C-alpha cells in the first residue's frame, strides 16, 4: 500500500500543469530528435540538458526523461518510412517495418509500434515501481567498498558489451576517467592538473564534454557522409486489422518482459533488447520465412522491448545511482546539475521527485501514444527540412547550452575541442557509451576507492570484508577473466581486434 500511495502522490505531482507541460514538450522534442537520423538519444538529451537549468528539478527531470522516451519512438518513424533508423534501438525495425511500408502498410507498422511502445513502457513502469523502493532500501547497506565494487561491475559490463573490441571499450572507459582528473581531488580538495588555469580548478565540465563528444561529433560524421535530405514512403491508414492484433499480442507481451529484464542490466540497453526480441519472435514464429518480408511481429516485439528497456534503465539509476546506459548517464548529469544525487537516499530524501518521475513514465507513455499517431504526417514533413538548416539549428543550440551553464567561453572551447576528439574516436570505432558512464561516475568511483582505502588503512581486502562487496567483486573479477580469456578462441581474437573495423 505504501508503494501505491507514494505512486499516487507522484502521479498527482506529475499531473500538475507545469509537469504535464514539461512531459509534453519533452515528448515532442524527443520524438523530433528520434526522427532526425544522425542525432541519437544521447546527443539529444545532452544538447537539451541546458534548457532545463532554469526549471524546477521535478519538471526538469520529467522533461529530460520524456525526451529520452520520445527519442525511442521517434526513431521508429524513420525506420518504417525511410529505412533509416533514427537511433540504434530502431535498426531492427527497419527490417520488417520498412517492408510493411513498401507494401502500403506503413500506417499499421507505426500504429503497432506506438501501441507496443506504450504497453511496454507501462509494464516496465509497474515493474520499476514495485522493485525500485525495495532495491534502494537494500542499497542503503552499501558503504564505500560496496559502491566501488558495484561501479566496477557496471564498468566491466559496459566495456565488455560496448562494441566489438574489448580494447577499444577499455580505452574509451579509461579515457572518460582521465577527463575527470583535472580539477580538485575529491578526497583532499587539492588542485591537480590545472595548468595554473583558474577555470581548470573546477575541472572539465561534463556538459561541454558530453555535448562535444556526443552532440556535434555525431553531426560531423553525418557531414562526412554527405547527408543532404531524406526521402520517405507515403503513409497508409493507421487502422489495424483483427489479424494484426492477433499476431501482435504475444510479441508485445514477450517484448515487455524481455525489455524490462534487459533494461535493468547496466550496459545492455535498448538496442540489445530490440535485437533479442526480434530473434525470439523469429524463433517462435510458425513461419519464420515471413520475417524480413513485412511481418508485423517483427515490429511489435522489438518496439515494445526497446521502450520497456528504456524505462527499466532508470531503475539502477534511481535505486543504486548507477546509470545503465549512456543516455541515462546524461540524465544523471541532469540530476547532479539540479543538486540531486541519484541512489539509495533518493527515495528517502526526495520522494516527491522520484515518485513523480516514475509516474511521469505513465504520463509520457500516454502522451506519446496520443501525440504520435495523429502527428506522423508532421514528423515526416519536418524531415523535408534541409539537413543544412537542421545542422545549423543544432549547433546554435549547443553553443547556447554550453555557454549558459556557467557563462564561460572556456566551456565553449572545451565543447568545440571535444567535438573534434569525438569525431575522430567515432571514426576509429571507439564505443562512446563507456566514456559517458565513466565521465559521470568517475569522481564517485575515485571517492569510494579512496574512502575504502582510508577505512582499511590501505588494505585491498576491504573489498572482500562484507558479503555484498565480496559478491560484487567476484562478479567483476569473473567478468574481467571471462573477457580476458575470450581472445583464446578464434572468435575472441576477432573481437579483440574489432572485426567490424579495419583499424
Partner 1 sequence: MNLSSVRLRMAYRLFLLVITAIALFVSWSGWRLKYYGPLGPGPGFFPVWVGILLALSCICALFSSLAEGLDEASTPFFEDAEGGRSVLLVIVALLALWPGLKYFGFRLTMLVFVWVVPRVFGARPLWQRAATAVLLSFGVAFGFERGLGVQLPEPELEFLQALGF
Separation in Å, CA 2 to CA 5, 6, 63, 244? 5, 6, 26, 39
Per the CB < 8 A criterion, the answer to whether 179 and 414 are in contact is no
Measured from the CB atom, the residue of 194 and 470 that comes closer to partner 1 is 194
| DSSP 8-state assignment for residue 188 | T
Query: Is residue 428 close enough to count as binding partner 1 by CB under 8 A?
Result: yes
Query: Is residue 454 close enough to count as binding partner 1 by CB under 8 A?
Result: yes
Separation in Å, CA 254 to CA 109, 269, 293, 302, 310? 18, 17, 21, 10, 16
Q: How far is the CB of 65 from partner 1 (least distance, A)?
A: 22
Interface with partner 1 (CB under 8 A), residue from 4, 190, 461, 488: 190
| Binding range to partner 1, per CB under 8 A, among 30-38, 78-86, 134-142, 186-194 | 186-194
- CA atoms of 401 and 121, how far apart (whole Å): 30
3-state secondary structure (DSSP) of residue 191: strand
Measured from the CB atom, the residue of 181 and 375 that comes closer to partner 1 is 181
DSSP string, 46-102: HHHGGGGTTS-HHHHHHHHHHHHHHHHHHHHHHHHHHS--SSGGGHHHIIIIIHHHH
DSSP string, 206-270: HHHHHIIIIIIHHHHHHHHHT------PPP---PPPHHHHHHHHHHHHHHHHHHHHHHTSTTTHH
Q: How far is the CB of 39 from partner 1 (least distance, A)?
A: 15
| Binding range to partner 1, per CB under 8 A, among 123-131, 171-179, 284-292, 330-338 | 171-179
Query: Is residue 477 close enough to count as binding partner 1 by CB under 8 A?
Result: no
Query: Is residue 416 close enough to count as binding partner 1 by CB under 8 A?
Result: yes
Q: How far is the CB of 391 from partner 1 (least distance, A)?
A: 7
Q: How far is the CB of 409 from partner 1 (least distance, A)?
A: 5
Interface with partner 1 (CB under 8 A), residue from 424, 460, 484, 485: 424
- CA atoms of 298 and 425, how far apart (whole Å): 33
- CA atoms of 33 and 73, how far apart (whole Å): 10
- CA atoms of 210 and 39, how far apart (whole Å): 14
Q: How many CB atoms lie within 10 A of CB 228?
A: 9
Interface with partner 1 (CB under 8 A), residue from 133, 265, 453, 479: 453
Q: How many CB atoms lie within 10 A of CB 412?
A: 18
Measured from the CB atom, the residue of 75 and 144 that comes closer to partner 1 is 144
Interface with partner 1 (CB under 8 A), residue from 358, 412, 432, 435: 412
Query: Is residue 198 close enough to count as binding partner 1 by CB under 8 A?
Result: no
Interface with partner 1 (CB under 8 A), residue from 1, 2, 4, 228: 228
Residues between 5 and 64 with contacts to partner 1, criterion CB under 8 A: 54
Of 23, 56, 94, 111, nearest to 374 by C-alpha is 111
Interface with partner 1 (CB under 8 A), residue from 9, 164, 352, 446: 446
Measured from the CB atom, the residue of 165 and 304 that comes closer to partner 1 is 165
Residues between 71 and 130 with contacts to partner 1, criterion CB under 8 A: none
Query: Is residue 249 close enough to count as binding partner 1 by CB under 8 A?
Result: no
Query: Is residue 193 close enough to count as binding partner 1 by CB under 8 A?
Result: yes
Interface with partner 1 (CB under 8 A), residue from 409, 460, 481, 484: 409
- List the grid coordinates of 397: 543550440
Interface residues with partner 1 (CB under 8 A) are: 54, 167-168, 170-171, 174-175, 177-178, 181, 185, 187-188, 190, 192-193, 216, 220, 223-228, 386-389, 391-393, 395-396, 399-400, 403-404, 407, 409, 412-413, 416, 419-420, 423-424, 427-428, 446, 449-450, 453-454, 457-458, 496-497, 502-503
Amino acid at each position: 500500500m505504501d508503494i501505491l500511495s507514494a505512486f499516487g502522490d507522484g502521479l498527482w505531482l506529475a499531473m500538475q500543469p507545469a509537469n504535464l507541460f514539461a512531459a509534453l514538450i519533452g515528448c515532442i522534442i524527443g520524438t523530433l530528435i528520434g526522427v532526425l537520423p544522425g542525432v541519437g538519444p544521447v546527443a539529444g538529451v545532452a544538447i537539451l540538458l541546458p534548457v532545463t537549468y532554469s526549471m524546477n528539478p521535478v519538471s526538469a527531470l520529467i522533461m529530460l526523461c520524456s525526451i529520452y522516451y520520445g527519442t525511442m519512438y521517434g526513431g521508429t518513424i524513420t525506420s518504417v518510412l525511410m529505412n533509416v533508423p533514427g537511433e540504434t534501438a530502431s535498426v531492427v525495425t527497419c527490417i520488417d517495418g520498412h517492408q510493411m511500408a513498401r507494401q502500403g502498410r506503413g500506417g499499421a507498422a507505426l500504429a503497432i509500434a506506438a501501441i507496443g511502445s506504450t504497453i511496454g513502457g507501462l509494464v516496465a513502469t509497474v515493474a520499476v515501481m514495485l522493485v525500485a523502493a525495495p532495491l534502494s532500501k537494500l542499497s542503503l547497506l552499501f558503504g564505500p567498498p560496496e559502491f566501488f565494487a558495484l561501479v566496477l561491475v557496471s564498468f566491466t559490463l559496459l566495456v565488455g558489451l560496448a562494441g566489438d573490441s574489448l580494447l577499444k571499450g577499455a580505452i574509451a572507459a579509461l579515457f572518460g576517467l582521465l577527463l575527470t582528473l583535472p580539477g580538485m581531488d575529491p578526497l583532499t580538495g587539492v588542485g591537480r592538473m590545472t595548468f595554473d588555469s583558474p577555470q581548470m580548478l573546477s575541472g572539465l565540465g561534463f556538459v561541454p564534454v558530453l555535448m562535444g563528444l556526443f552532440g556535434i561529433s555525431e553531426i560531423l560524421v553525418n557531414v562526412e557522409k554527405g547527408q543532404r535530405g531524406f526521402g520517405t514512403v507515403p503513409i497508409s491508414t493507421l487502422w489495424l486489422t483483427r489479424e494484426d492484433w492477433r499476431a501482435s499480442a504475444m510479441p508485445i507481451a514477450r517484448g515487455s518482459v524481455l525489455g524490462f529484464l534487459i533494461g535493468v542490466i547496466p550496459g545492455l540497453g535498448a538496442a540489445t533488447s530490440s535485437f533479442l526480441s526480434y530473434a525470439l519472435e523469429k524463433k517462435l514464429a510458425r513461419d519464420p520465412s515471413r520475417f524480413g518480408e513485412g511481418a508485423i511481429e517483427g515490429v511489435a516485439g522489438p518496439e515494445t522491448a526497446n521502450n520497456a528497456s528504456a524505462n527499466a534503465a532508470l531503475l539502477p539509476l534511481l535505486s543504486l545511482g548507477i546509470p545503465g546506459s549512456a543516455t541515462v548517464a546524461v540524465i544523471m548529469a541532469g540530476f547532479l546539475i539540479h543538486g540531486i544525487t541519484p541512489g539509495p537516499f533518493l527515495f528517502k530524501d526526495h520522494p516527491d521527485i522520484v515518485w513523480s518521475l516514475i509516474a511521469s513514465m505513465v504520463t509520457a507513455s500516454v502522451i506519446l501514444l496520443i501525440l504520435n499517431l495523429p502527428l506522423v504526417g508532421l514528423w515526416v514533413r519536418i524531415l523535408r527540412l534541409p539537413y543544412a538548416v537542421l545542422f545549423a539549428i543544432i549547433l546554435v543550440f549547443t553553443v547556447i547550452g554550453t555557454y549558459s551553464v556557467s557563462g564561460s567561453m572556456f566551456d565553449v572551447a572545451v565543447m568545440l575541442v571535444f567535438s573534434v576528439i569525438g569525431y575522430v574516436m567515432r571514426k576509429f570505432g571507439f564505443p562512446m557509451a563507456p566514456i559517458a558512464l565513466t565521465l559521470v561516475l568517475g569522481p564517485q568511483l575515485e571517492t569510494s576507492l579512496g574512502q575504502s582505502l582510508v577505512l582499511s588503512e590501505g588494505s585491498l581486502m576491504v573489498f572482500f570484508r562484507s558479503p555484498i562487496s565480496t559478491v560484487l567483486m567476484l562478479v567483476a573479477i569473473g567478468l574481467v577473466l571471462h573477457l580476458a580469456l575470450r581472445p583464446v578462441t578464434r572468435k575472441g581474437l576477432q573481437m579483440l581486434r574489432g572485426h567490424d573495423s579495419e583499424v
